[in-house]
């Protein structure tokens, strides 16, 4: 609780401000105050011990290790996204230093947020390449930090799948923001470029077409459902958090596609407001989260706005009825 965010005020707005927001639904991307990142990259030297030794601190020159420099640069992009697109000062909204450890383990096939920092494996080169490669992987992991400091979505079952989905949503938005893509230009893939050469597939997950990201003899087939009719009941993976996240992922894609333009400007603001608005129970299910996004869209754009319809129809499109 001491770690919970102090800046819930962002969504607590007076009715006068609310009226103003309807006229100018997208808040100007430039913040009234400038935030500064504080990045530290550490190297675990292929051991599984954290945090490892510091190899690059904020403001220091690039090192001879491209993996270190990639991690540093992606942390910067993620920081800039939250600052400029969400008016958020780092992961906790209060300037939290960003720490990342690279070269974790030997051929380690994952990346993760451990509650305090981010960690990258190098991949085994057979299934996966370096986890520092795709920007959306860094965005995904650091968004687990944002969720921890805001809605605190419990990492099990539907709230866990929502936790996963929120990380994919912002991972993808950060990539789209960096590339300047509109919703129809984006690939809506998570971890494109991460699969080793020879693996049959294009990415870890597809938000647009869950279940189609890969189909490989070693990796198996992408297990994600695209709607509630194919919801997977399982005790594995914390109750399918990386599986059923396909459902809210596709709902976000459908909402963003229907709204059009840059997905972070309206659909992204609706999801961000929902995540950080202080109203979600940590054990919220898909239906509760869906209702909250409709509510947030109404607060941001007016209850009869096209954005509200787009969000409601997106959830209906994946079989979640609001
Ligand atoms: N890369 C995974 C994730 O962030 C690690 C995990 O399973 N927690 O979801
Ligand atoms: Zn995750």
Ligand 1, pocket-test mutation among 110, 160, 162, most atoms within 8 A of CB: 110
SS3 (DSSP) at 27 = coil
Residue pair 292/166 in contact (Cβ under 8 Å)? The answer is no
What is the set of active-site residues?
A: 141, 242
Q: Cα separation of 157 and 260, whole Å?
A: 31
For the CA of 144, the closest atom of ligand 1 is 4
Which two structure tokens, joined as six digits, stand for 225? 């459902």
Quickly list H helices, the chain.
15-23, 66-86, 135-149, 157-179, 237-240, 246-259, 267-276, 286-301, 306-317
Which run of H or of E encompasses 205?
A: strand 205-206
**Cα–ligand 1 centroid distance for 279 (angstroms):** 25
User: Is the C-beta atom of 243 inside 6 A of ligand 1?
Assistant: no
Is 101 a member of any domain?
Answer: yes
Length of the chain: 322
Is 322 a member of any domain?
Answer: no
Is 1 a member of any domain?
Answer: no
**DSSP letter, residue 301:** H
Q: Cα separation of 176 and 63, whole Å?
A: 27
**Cα–ligand 1 centroid distance for 241 (angstroms):** 9
* Cβ-Cβ contacts under 8 Å for 298 (sequence gap 6 or more): 305, 308
Is 119 a member of any domain?
Answer: yes
* Cβ-Cβ contacts under 8 Å for 129 (sequence gap 6 or more): 123, 193, 194, 195, 196
Q: Which domain holds residue 39?
A: 11-317
DSSP 98-134: EEEEES-SSS---EEE-SSSEEE----SSSB--TTS-
CATH code (residue 122): 1.10.390.10
For the chain, the maximum distance between any two Cα atoms, rounded to a whole number of angstroms, is 58
User: Is the C-beta atom of 142 inside 6 A of ligand 1?
Assistant: no
User: Is the C-beta atom of 38 inside 6 A of ligand 1?
Assistant: no
**Cα–ligand 1 centroid distance for 140 (angstroms):** 9
Counting as low any pLDDT under 50, the low residues of the chain are 1-26, 31-32
Q: Is 269 exposed, middle or buried (0-12, 13-18, 19+ CB in 10 A)?
A: buried
Is 2 a member of any domain?
Answer: no
Number of structural domains (the chain) is 1
Q: Cα separation of 192 and 203, whole Å?
A: 4
Is 3 a member of any domain?
Answer: no
pLDDT of residue 172: 99
User: Is the C-beta atom of 284 inside 6 A of ligand 1?
Assistant: no
ipTM of this model? 0.94
User: Is the C-beta atom of 112 inside 6 A of ligand 1?
Assistant: yes
For the CA of 110, the closest atom of ligand 1 is 1
């Amino acid at each position: 609780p001491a770690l919970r965010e102090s800046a819930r005020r962002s969504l607590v707005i007076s009715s006068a401000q609310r009226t103003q927001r309807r006229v100018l639904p997208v808040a100007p991307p430039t913040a009234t105050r400038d935030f500064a990142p504080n990045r530290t990259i550490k190297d675990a030297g292929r051991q599984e011990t954290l945090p490892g030794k510091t190899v690059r601190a904020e403001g220091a020159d690039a090192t001879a290790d491209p993996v270190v420099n990639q991690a540093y640069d992606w942390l910067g992009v993620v920081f800039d996204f939250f600052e400029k697109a969400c008016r958020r000062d780092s992961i906790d909204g209060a300037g939290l230093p960003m720490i990342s450890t690279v070269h974790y383990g030997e051929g380690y096939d994952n990346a993760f947020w451990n509650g305090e920092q981010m960690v990258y494996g190098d991949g085994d080169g057979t299934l996966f390449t370096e986890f520092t490669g795709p920007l959306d992987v860094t965005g995904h992991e650091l968004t687990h930090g944002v969720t921890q400091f805001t809605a605190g979505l419990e990492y099990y079952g539907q709230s866990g799948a929502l936790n996963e989905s929120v990380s994919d949503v912002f991972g993808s938005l950060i990539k789209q923001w960096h590339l300047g893509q509109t919703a129809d230009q984006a690939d809506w893939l998570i971890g494109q470029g991460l699969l080793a050469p020879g693996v049959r597939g294009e990415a870890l997950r597809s938000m647009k077409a869950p279940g189609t990201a890969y189909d490989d003899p070693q990796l198996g087939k992408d297990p994600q459902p695209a709607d509630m009719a194919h919801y997977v009941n399982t005790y594995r993976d914390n109750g399918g958090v990386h599986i059923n996240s396909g459902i809210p992922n596709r709902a976000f894609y459908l909402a963003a596609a229907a709204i059009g333009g840059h997905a972070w400007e309206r659909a992204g603001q609706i999801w961000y407001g929902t995540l950080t608005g202080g109203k979600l129970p940590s054990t919220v299910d898909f239906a509760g989260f869906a209702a909250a996004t409709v509510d947030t869209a109404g607060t941001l754009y007016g209850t009869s706005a096209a954005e509200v319809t787009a969000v409601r129809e997106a959830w209906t499109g994946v079989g979640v009825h609001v």
